[in-house]
Every structure is written in structure tokens, then in C-alpha cells.
Amino acid sequence: MSQAEARQTQRVVLQVNGQRHELDVEPRWLLADVLRHQLGLTATHVGCEQGVCGACTVLVDGKPERSCLMLAVQAEGCEVTTVEGLTPAAGLSPLQAAFQQHHALQCGFCTPGILVTMEALLRENPHPDEATVREALSGNVCRCTGYQFIVDAVLAAAKEGR
């Protein structure tokens, strides 16, 4: 296989935030980059590209996964949800509102990845204890908040039934 051949695009159908997209992608394109550059869904952030920081986390069939460690071609047939897909047409989701109330973000770089991860946690376990929230949060790095307010926000959202 020559480089030119490998660089050819393939047609894929991606299901993102409930919408169907037909796209031409190179096999080497990461899901994170296709979400951002092809679909303009720029809330999904890219920090480390090695799975460590969690900023690129999206939901794949409802489960948090790293979009920097998945090829866009691999997402075919899966339902991908980004934080845009969790945000109502007007206003904020209850979890987002709790983040605002509890000052759970400063620069916001980590926030989309954390929101989708915590949304998945609360769907699986609507009333987590603090240790469970911290364990689920351990895969998302935040350089600003010190995490305490994030934990507060998630517990508050859980208490209010989101």
C-alpha cells in the first residue's frame, strides 16, 4: 500500500448527537479531530492525545470514551454524544446549571469532558456517594479548580435529581 493509497478518504456515516452525518475521512483521522474540524463540534477539547487528560471524552453508545484514542472510521455504527448533545436548545442542563452554581469551572478546558463523564455516571448511578464521584472523575485532569467544587456540583445535581 503506497502512502497515496493509504491517504485516500473513505465514506463513513456517523451518528452524532442524534444526527446522521455522511463524511469522507482518512482512516488515520481521530474521532476528536473529525468532531472538531469536520463537524464543527468544538466543545470537545484536545489536550494530550494520549488518553491521560480526559478533555476529549465523549459518550460512545452512552459510555465515556476518549475521542483522541478512537479513529473516526471506528465510530461508524455507534451513537456518539458530545457535550453539545447534552445541552438543551435553551438554557443549561441541570448538571451544567449545578456546575455554574458551584463554580465548578474556571478556564473551562476540562469541563466538556467532565460533564459527559459525570452525565454518564449519574445515568448509571443516580445517587453516587462522594467516593464514587471522585473515582469516576479520576480520569479527568483539571488544572484550575482543585476538583472540590466539581464534586460539590455533581453531588448537588444528584441530590436535586438532576
Partner 1 sequence: MKPVAFAYYRPQSLAEAVRMLREHPGSKPIAGGQSLIPLLNFRMARPEALVDLNRIPGLDEVEVRGQRLRIGGLVRHQQLHEHPLVRQHWPVLAQAAGEVGHWAIRNRGTLGGSLAHADPAAELPAVMVAADAVFELVSADGVRQVPAREFFYGYLMTALQPDEVLAAVELPLASGTSWGFAEVARRPGDFALAGAICECRPDGTGAVTWFAVGGGPERHELVVAADANERAAQWQDLAATLDAQDDYRRHLAAVVAETAYLRSLGRDGQ
Show the cell assigned to 87: 445541552
Sole binder of ligand FAD in the list 8, 10, 28, 51 (CB under 6 A): 51
Residue 45 burial class via C-beta count within 10 angstroms: exposed 0-12, middle 13-18, buried 19 and up? buried
Enumerate residues 54-73 that contact ligand FES by CB under 6 A. 54-56, 66, 68
Site track 72-101 with ligand FES (rule: CB under 6 A), x = hit: ------------------------------
102 belongs to the binding site for ligand FES (CB under 6 A): no
52 belongs to the binding site for ligand FAD (CB under 6 A): yes
User: How is residue 52 annotated by DSSP?
Assistant: S
Q: Which does 108 bind (CB under 5 to 8 A by kind): partner 1, ligand FAD, ligand FES, none?
A: ligand FES
- Rounded Cα distance between 69 and 65, Å, is 8
Helix (H), strand (E) at residue 16: strand 10-16
Enumerate residues 103-132 that contact ligand FES by CB under 6 A. 105-111
Q: Which does 79 bind (CB under 5 to 8 A by kind): ligand FES, partner 1, ligand FAD, none?
A: none
Sole binder of ligand FES in the list 73, 95, 142, 156 (CB under 6 A): 142
Contact in structure between 112 and 55 (CB atoms under 8 Å): yes
Which residues have CB under 8 Å from 137's CB, separation 6+? 114, 117, 118, 147, 150, 151, 154
- Rounded Cα distance between 147 and 76, Å, is 34
Site track 3-42 with partner 1 (rule: CB under 8 A), x = hit: x-xxx--x---------------xxxxx--x---------
User: How is residue 36 annotated by DSSP?
Assistant: I
Under DSSP, is residue 88 helix (H, G, I), strand (E, B) or coil?
Answer: coil
74 belongs to the binding site for partner 1 (CB under 8 A): yes
Binding site for ligand FAD (CB under 6 A): 51-52
